[in-house]
């Protein structure tokens, strides 16, 4: 996953991602390859609402779906 211009694994975040956050890359069974240009796909959705907004009507994304949101649930 790309965060602030650098590749990070989920464990590198200051917090665990929300278990309801989904993105297209989650369904691609391929390891990250540093020789392949990253697509910078920022298409996230919430499993609760099935769209780009969470139940709290805020955007669903890897950098904002954290413990400070009422709908957040850690993995």
**Number of domains into which the chain is organized:** 1
Residue 35 belongs to a domain: no
Give the C-alpha separation, 48 to 60, whole Å: 11
Q: Is the pLDDT of residue 7 over 60?
A: no
Quick one: tokens of 13? 């975040």
Beta strands in the chain (DSSP E): 2-3, 6-7, 21-23, 44-46
Provide the residue range defining the domain that includes 64: 1-28+42-75
Summarize the confidence of residues 46-67 as an average pLDDT.
94
Reported pTM: 0.67
Residue 69 belongs to a domain: yes
Q: Is the pLDDT of residue 73 over 80?
A: yes
Residue 33 belongs to a domain: no
Give the C-alpha separation, 50 to 11, whole Å: 25
Residue 53 belongs to a domain: yes
């Amino acid at each position: 996953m790309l965060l602030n211009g650098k590749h990070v694994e989920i464990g590198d975040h200051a917090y665990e991602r929300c278990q309801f956050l989904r993105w297209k890359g989650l369904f691609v069974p391929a390891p990250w390859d540093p020789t392949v240009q990253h697509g910078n796909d920022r298409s996230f959705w919430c499993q609760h609402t099935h769209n780009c907004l969470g139940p709290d009507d805020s955007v669903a994304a890897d950098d904002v779906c954290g413990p400070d949101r009422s709908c957040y649930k850690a993995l």
